[in-house]
Amino acid sequence: MIGLTKKEVALLSEAEARTELIWLADEISRHDDLYYNRSAPVLSDGDYDMLRRRNALIESQFPHLKRIDTPSQRVGASVRGAFPKIQHSQPMLSLDNAFSSKDVTDFVSRLSRFLGLLEGTSVELVAEPKVDGLSASLRYENGIFVLGATRGDGTEGEDVTTNLLTIEDIPKKLHSLDVPKVLEVRGEVHMKKDDFHHLNKIRTRSDEPVFSNPRNAAAGSLRQLDSSITAGRRLHFFAYGWGEILQMDGERQLEYPLGETLIEARSRLSAFGFVLNDPVCVASDVAEIISYYDDIVSNRASLPFDLDGVVYKVNRLDWQSRLGSMSRSPRWAIAHKFPAERAISLVEQITIQVGRMGALTPVAELSPVTIGGVVVSRATLHNEDEVHRKDVRAGDTVVVQRAGDVIPQIVEVVLKKRKKNSQPFVFPQKCPVCGSAATRGSGEAVRRCTGGLVCPAQAIQRLRHFIGRDGFDIEGFGKKQVEEFWHDRLVRTPADIFRLKDQNKTLEARDGWGDVSVRNLLSAIEARRSISLERFIYALGIPQIGQTNARLLARNYGSLKSFTGSMLEAEDVASTAYQNLISIDGVGDQAAARLIGFFLEPHNQEVLAELAEEIDVENFIDAGRKSVVAGKVVVFTGSLSTMTRAEAKAQAQTLGAKVAGSVSNKTDYLVLGAEAGSKLEKARTFDVKILNEKEWRELLGS
């Protein structure tokens, strides 16, 4: 695989420089896209700057090799980290995606099931266009615009108030006297297609690089340090939702409803002076909604702004709040994405990537091609069977597809263009990184390297996962540093990271490092000596334990000590510890097996013991801790009349309770629905509070 060579730029041959510039242009554009458009950066600012610096350096040595798509002249990309950070009062979520009518029908069935609607009761949906821009949150206090932020990672965004003030669509003062004390409006900042073309025309004339699509143009324009530049870019804002809304009742702050339905809330927002996403369609019938979608698909080109789909939302706001949210997206909305865009490209070679758990993934390295405004130079081939099924070979001409946020895929090979001498791809039986045998379990699609931590690819990626954004999140410690430190034996295990402070002098003596960069890295590491339990569990990188499961485990066990102790006890499937583990709603048998396996492995125990010397894992503190049921173990039994079991569980968990599937001596509450069975008997033998549905609701209300 191409990548950064470690060679000094002065020693690069022309061919090497050319190859590296291609790779850098693509890599930087991929990271810009992840950062600006998907709000999901995978590189630290330091690593990203390093890529840009390397690109600039090679260009200065080889000016004649400077590419048309050089990132060195791309606008908007040079201001990363330049705006103050803002914590969102309520998270800015993303949307789940639907790619077909069936996905939409499934979404509607899920809604009915969750809400427990009777046959014949339909869910009214509001469909509106999904504008392709970037989301922003605008805060009004007593009707005055006081703060505007980008989405960032959903929890923390950047303060771009000054730039948002230049957007005409954004009211600086709400157009009504009856305004809540606090109103946060969320919506999409975007650029109209005409303005985008006009801007690019002017830029071409003045020999400036052009933007690849209106979304990038809007993102680049909003993140200007000089707001007079933003002002000249004619950005627009559609309001599509809201965050915190509060009103005063004497001294008390209360939530302030914008209406009973989304349609009512939309007209309130419009009366406040906001522009809304139009046209909308209100319907209960999936066929009607799909016909709205089809209309939008056919009229897409004639609309003044770029869309990437249509959003369906539950109209009743009380139902929206009952449905609530999952970790990243609400249950009450879905984005129906437009069909994938396709292009033709050439497979230059097929490489094998080795994952954190040793999975060998074949990747098609493509001649760079632009699909939907993004340069694509790699596509996943998923696994061994997939390469053989599609019979993709080096040198093949292929159809590549990119849809929304998904990784580009190869749809098919254009067989008539296949070269006569082409050879089928031979999938390696050995790990290309460490040479260990790569084996496939029976019934498994994935071939895995058996090298474990002996394999540099696995070891390095586990470390990367450990310090990654959702784990320890150590600023300035990116992919490149981890690789280098691992190869130089400075960091081989997670605890080594926290012992780097003793290597101060060795670090300062390294190429490209000075006392300032070492100090910055070490202080970023020090800042993470204390970590929340859920982040810690996630950082361990146990298969099947993503953020949601890590949070569930943290909530259930509360402390690291109780968690690790219980995992060891759970080896015995007859133990209460095992029963408790699998009774956590969301943790199935397979995840349980992975967890237990992880904690039984001596090497992992060693890693944990070493880490315990270095760091402090905080006990779980729940946002719902003020609730009376926070930290309590609740079991539901029988059928509930006012809500479905799924809803009851989701609500209890939101309030910080642990929901278990069976009664034990740890159970605090048993909530009885109609026809409760044996759980009631069992609960009577323990000290469990038994509540009927009404009493449970009253308890939550208190």
The residues binding ligand IVH (CB under 6 A) are 93-95, 128, 130-131, 135, 188, 240-241, 277, 311, 330, 333, 335
Report the distance separating Cα 142 and Cα 79, nearest Å: 32
Q: Alpha-carbon distance 319 to 332, whole Å? A: 8
Distance (Å, whole) CA 653 – CA 633: 10
For residue 577, which of 508, 665, 647 has the smallest C-alpha distance? 665
- CA distances from residue 262 to 179, 285, 317, 333, 334 in whole angstroms, order as listed: 18, 17, 6, 12, 15
- The full 3-state SS of 587-604, as one line of letters, equals CCHHHHHHHHHHHHCHHH
Q: Report, in Å, the least distance between residue 459 CB and ligand IVH.
A: 35
Spatial contact of 282 and 125, defined as CB atoms under 8 Å apart = yes
Q: Encoding tokens for residue 169? A: 């669509």
Between CA 169 and CA 274 the distance in angstroms is 7
Q: Which is nearer to ligand IVH, 154 or 565 (CB)?
A: 154
Angle at CA of residue 180, ends 176 and 185, nearest 5°: 85
Minimum gap (Å) between residue 580 Cβ and ligand IVH:
33
Distance of alpha carbon 325 from the chain centroid = 15
Q: How far apart are CA 80 and CA 50, in angstroms?
A: 13
CA angle 284, 286, 292 (to 5 degrees): 95
Cβ at position 683, least distance to ligand IVH in Å: 38
The least distance separating ligand IVH from the CB of residue 241, rounded to whole angstroms, comes to 5
The set of residues, in sequence order, having a beta carbon less than 8 Å from that of 675 and lying 6+ positions away, is 638, 639
Q: Which is nearer to ligand IVH, 294 or 488 (CB)?
A: 294
By beta carbon distance, the residue nearest ligand IVH is 135
Query: Residue 95 or 629: which CB sits closer to ligand IVH?
Result: 95
Q: Which of 155, 212, 582, 144 is nearest to 369 (CA)?
A: 212
* Min separation Cβ 39 and ligand IVH, Å: 8
Give the span between the Cα atoms of 509 and 503, in whole angstroms. 10
Tokens linked to 617: 């894992």
CB of 401 vs ligand IVH, minimal distance in Å: 19
Catalytic residue among 66, 102, 130, 505: 130
Is 130 marked active-site?
yes
Residue with tokens 């906001």: 274
Distance CA 537, CA 545 (A): 8
- Cα 187 from Cα 439, distance rounded (Å): 49
Question: Tokens in use for 315?
Answer: 């109209």
Query: What is the smallest separation between the CB atom of 132 and ligand IVH, expressed in angstroms?
Result: 7
Instruction: Please say whether the dihedral angle defined by the alpha carbons of residues 321, 322, 326 and 329, taken in this order, is positive or negative.
Output: negative
- CB nearer to ligand IVH: give 548 or 576: 548
Nearer Cβ to ligand IVH (313/393): 313
Which residues does the annotation mark as catalytic?
130
